[in-house]
């Protein structure tokens, strides 16, 4: 089984929103073969708590524009690792230190990487 077209639309919208706020190391994995609860994970990071919050706000705004509402949000108060669950996708916005420590991409490296749209870039070098 692979991620649905709607899940891919959400992934691309979330990744574009994160990119707009200069998120770093934006990746997405199709986890639909491994998990029953969601189709895809989006991972991105930022160097400080304020930027994590800014990225989260932009993702929620952009996904709301296309009719998606989160079913759950965790970690927003600390601003170090915010998880936004949209059922079909789960977005992880992490502080750079948490990203390195927890290394989610190592846990999910056997899952297919979802290609990003051309407008999605990492925050550095813009």
pLDDT by residue (tens digit) across 9-50?
A: 999 999 999 999 999 999 999 999 999 999 999 999 999 999
What confidence score (pLDDT) does residue 78 get? 86
State how far the Cα of 34 lies from the Cα of 100, in Å rounded to an integer: 23
- Close Cβ partners of 79 (under 8 Å, ≥ 6 residues apart): 49, 50, 52, 53, 95
Q: In the predicted model, what is the mean pLDDT of residues 95-100?
A: 96
- E-strand ranges in 3-117 read 24-30, 40-46, 72-74, 81-85, 89-95
Predicted model pTM? 0.93
CATH fold group of domain 5-107: Beta Polymerase; domain 2 (3.30.460)
């Amino acid at each position: 089984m692979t991620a649905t077209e709607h899940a891919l639309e959400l992934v691309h919208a979330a990744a574009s929103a994160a990119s707009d706020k200069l998120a770093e190391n934006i990746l997405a994995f199709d986890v639909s073969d491994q998990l029953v609860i969601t189709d895809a994970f989006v991972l991105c990071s930022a160097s400080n708590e304020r930027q994590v919050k800014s990225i989260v706000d932009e993702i929620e705004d952009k996904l709301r524009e296309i009719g998606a509402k989160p079913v759950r949000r965790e970690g927003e108060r600390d601003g170090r690792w915010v998880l936004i669950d949209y059922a079909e996708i789960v977005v992880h916005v992490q502080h750079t230190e948490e990203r390195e420590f927890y290394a989610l991409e190592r846990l999910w490296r056997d899952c297919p990487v979802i290609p990003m749209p051309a407008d999605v870039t990492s925050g550095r070098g813009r």
